[in-house]
A and B are shown apart, each in its own frame.
Chain A
């Protein structure tokens, strides 16, 4: 236990650099010193666990208002696995997004697009024993942001994952197949590796679609895996 197997280093090119200066918000916010190398200890290879009895699931983000929200109802589903393909079971997934008009239901969002009283935009789900999750929501709209004189974020859904350890923490964004704004977006394009970028783009998946009800998109996610597994039985 004192020499826990570490989680693997990130594969070069698959993560966006902290200094991604086309995204101007990074310029004064990234460290100039290199990250300090350290061996992972018990602190890094353990992490919180969340119980759905205490952290209430919100798997239907279209059901928080008095009526259905405006916009195109969709289902997003996928599987969370580690780098070796093993399912990440019973882990909490946090989800948040803008409404169909591209507006967050929050006083901090000043974009001149309508609030939808029937769409708050927050969700929370837990994976099953096979690592699968599913959420019902609406397709978010694109919105402008003050990066350049005419900058627009592609439609996206924010996701937060925990996995088994503090080292496996992942916050990312899901995009939609075929969005013409993707190659113009410095946040998306900050991921150097094309294949890694492509995995942030959810394809339409007719197997997830519910006929006559909602289109479905698949967003599979991979969390860091371990180099070896002496602690496998102790995964929290």
Chain B
């Protein structure tokens, strides 16, 4: 077995972000429940993670010619990212478990030697109470770092803290 190639930081990565349309997962005409997923990424000093980028992946709704399931958003000078996508539905967990609706998140940037994985869940979804990943996080406050909150019509906000107080739970995928 040959181990996987080593990661190296993505930054500067400007050319990856020239296709701004990739942040809109509905651009090919997918039908469903459109939502905005937005948030602010900050570092251990509370400063905007202004030269990073966020990628998302969702296996529901199923990918098709109309719905890529994948998006990439620049993080702007204020630290904000923004996606337009479709609200995910149910994805089975392992065994008989049911996962709550979620979107997988991958963060790249200057100062990150390796991508960071996390997830966005949706506040007040009853399945959050039994989701295998959320319930495996013992401290309720830390669990909350994965739960996006309503922020206007069909808009969900998930702020991400890379380091320090209320640090986001990052996943060992």
What is A's interface to B at a CB cutoff of 8 Å? 1-3, 8, 10-11, 14-18, 20, 23, 25-44, 46-49, 81, 83-85, 94, 96, 104, 106, 108-109, 120-122, 158, 160, 166-167, 169-173, 187-188, 190-191, 193, 196-197, 199-200, 221-225, 236
Contacts and interface: CB of A to CB of B under 8 A. Distances in A.
Contacts, number: 211
A48 B51 CA distance: 24
Interface residues of B, number: 66
Chain B interface, >50% SS class: loop
Given A16-B114, A17-B113, A31-B162, A84 B12 contact: no
A36 B12 CA distance: 28
B169 A33 contact: yes
Contact of A30 (B12, B136, B162, B171): B162
B114 A15 contact: yes
A97 to B, nearest CB: 8
A48 B96 CA distance: 25
A1 to B, nearest CB: 8
Chain A interface, >50% SS class: loop
A44 B114 contact: no
A17 B7 CA distance: 10
B8 A173 contact: yes
Nearest to B68: A48
Given A42-B59, A42-B92, A30 B4 contact: no
